[in-house]
């Protein structure tokens, strides 16, 4: 019987993760916000090697549902979640309104940049389909962070939203509760709204402004695409 696309893609991703976990033992981390594809990768990590750390950016502005879901998920699958936070009181109140780029830099970019000093491989759940700015991502890219070369791996680059949904359903893996309430991309509560039919997946992020990305996937410099 012919296998579904998501099954073939899941096999490929699992093989890639196994290879990376063996070749870079102790030097690999997954970052996940537990909103969408990150849940797929976190589930695979739990099946392959639950010692691999799952980095979670604790911005101080997550929906309570995100924090609760992350905790339940980590417990259920025995994951080693590492909360990355910054001195939240170091940024003025309401900075997300007056200068969201600075807010993202302080609460997302800098904590991730500091954390990556401990790793040679950074795995993320970015998908090409998510937005125009992500259409050219590779599955594996060599990038430079603070003058150091790392591999940024995006195993779900070719996955569709439907692949993610089908993987989770077929494996009985729970998904973020806000997805059912119209949030197609889930970030910090001040900067996220549900979307409506016809809108792009990330249209609810920083809605009404020109901002489309937090900068988390732009601070490292791409040196080439390996795959
Ligand atoms: S998404 Fe909004 S609240 Fe979260 S760090 Fe960025 S600007 Fe601040």
Does the Cβ of 104 fall within 6 Å of ligand 1? Answer: yes
Distance 112 CA to ligand 1 centre (A): 14
Distance 104 CA to ligand 1 centre (A): 5
- Helix H or strand E encompassing 115: helix 110-116
pLDDT in tens, 34-80: 998 999 999 999 999 999 999 999 999 999 999 999 999 999 999 99
Ligand 1, closest atom to CA 106?
5
Say how far apart CA 47 and CA 67 lie, in whole Å. 22
Q: What is the DSSP string of 163-188?
A: HHHHHHHHTT----GGGGGT-SS--B
Ligand 1, closest atom to CA 100?
7
Question: Which residue's CA lies nearest to atom 1 of ligand 1?
Answer: 188
Ligand 1, closest atom to CA 108?
5
Distance 191 CA to ligand 1 centre (A): 6
Distance 49 CA to ligand 1 centre (A): 31
pLDDT in tens, 150-167: 999 999 999 999 999 999
Q: What residues in the chain have per-residue pLDDT under 50?
A: none
For residue 221, what pLDDT is reported? 72
* Residue 103 known to be catalytic: no
Give me the domains of the chain, ranges plus CATH numbers.
5-225 (3.40.50.620)
For residue 216, what pLDDT is reported? 76
Does the Cβ of 30 fall within 6 Å of ligand 1? Answer: no
- Global pTM reads 0.93
For residue 227, what pLDDT is reported? 64
**Contact of 223 with 143, CB cutoff 8 Å:** yes
- Ligand 1: residue of 103, 105, 109 to mutate (most ligand atoms within 8 A of CB) is 103
Ligand 1, closest atom to CA 61?
3
- Cβ contacts of 167 within 8 Å, gap of 6 or more: 6, 10, 40, 173
């Amino acid at each position: 019987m012919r296998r579904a696309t998501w099954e073939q893609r899941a096999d490929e991703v699992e093989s890639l993760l196994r290879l990376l976990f063996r070749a870079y033992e102790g030097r690999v981390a997954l970052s996940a916000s537990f909103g969408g594809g990150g849940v797929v990768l976190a589930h695979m990590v739990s099946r392959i090697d639950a010692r691999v750390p799952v980095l979670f950016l604790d911005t101080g502005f997550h929906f309570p549902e995100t924090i609760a879901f992350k905790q339940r998920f980590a417990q259920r699958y025995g994951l080693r979640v590492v909360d990355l936070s910054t001195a939240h009181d170091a940024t003025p109140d309401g900075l997300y309104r007056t200068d969201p780029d600075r807010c993202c830099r302080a609460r997302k970019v800098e904590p991730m940049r500091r954390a990556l000093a401990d790793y040679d491989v950074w795995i993320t759940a970015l998908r090409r389909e998510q937005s125009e700015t992500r259409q050219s991502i590779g599955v594996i890219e060599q990038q430079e962070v603070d003058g150091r070369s790392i591999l940024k791996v995006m195993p779900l680059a070719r996955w569709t939203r439907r692949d993610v949904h089908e993987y989770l359903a077929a494996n009985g893996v729970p998904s973020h509760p806000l997805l059912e309430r119209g949030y197609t991309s889930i970030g910090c509560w001040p900067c996220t709204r549900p979307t409506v039919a016809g809108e792009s997946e990330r249209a609810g992020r920083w809605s009404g402004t020109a901002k489309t990305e937090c900068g988390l996937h732009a601070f490292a410099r791409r040196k080439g695409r390996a795959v």
